[in-house]
Amino acid sequence: MATDTASDAGTASTNEPMYVDGQSQLDDIVAENDVVLTDFYADWCGPCQMLEPIVETLAAETDATVAKVDVDANQQLASAYGVRGVPTLVLFADGEQVEEIVGLQGEDQLRTLIESYTE
């Protein structure tokens, strides 16, 4: 698993969540990838911690790119997307926001949602 290098950072669809710091970085990820699942989370949030292994699995097993946004470190970015509670998942397809899911979701529900945009 240690084969990842820094040069892979810009390539389409990574198998691990990408941590986002700021609007321009999220814009780049959304622009460079067809489907992006963005996880707005906070370190102190219990349901966010429960969601973590689910989004990691989805990053590895689906065609979606997973981006993670720490709402405490990126309050402006969170408010730009109307995030009022965590976890909030925002799904982008072809550069547009297509879904917003608030609260803890099951892996199967999220996988089905992602696959409806990736197939």
Catalytic site includes residue 90: no
Q: Is 59 exposed, middle or buried (0-12, 13-18, 19+ CB in 10 A)?
A: buried
Question: Is 91 among the residues known to form the active site?
Answer: no
> What's the token pair of residue 6?
């820094």
Answer for the pair 84, 78: CB distance below 8 angstroms, yes or no.
Answer: no
Which one is catalytic: 20, 48, 71, 78? 48
Single out the catalytic residue among 13, 45, 100, 118: 45
What percent of the chain is helix, strand and coil (3-state, nearest 5)?
40, 25, 35
Q: Which residues are catalytic?
A: 45, 48
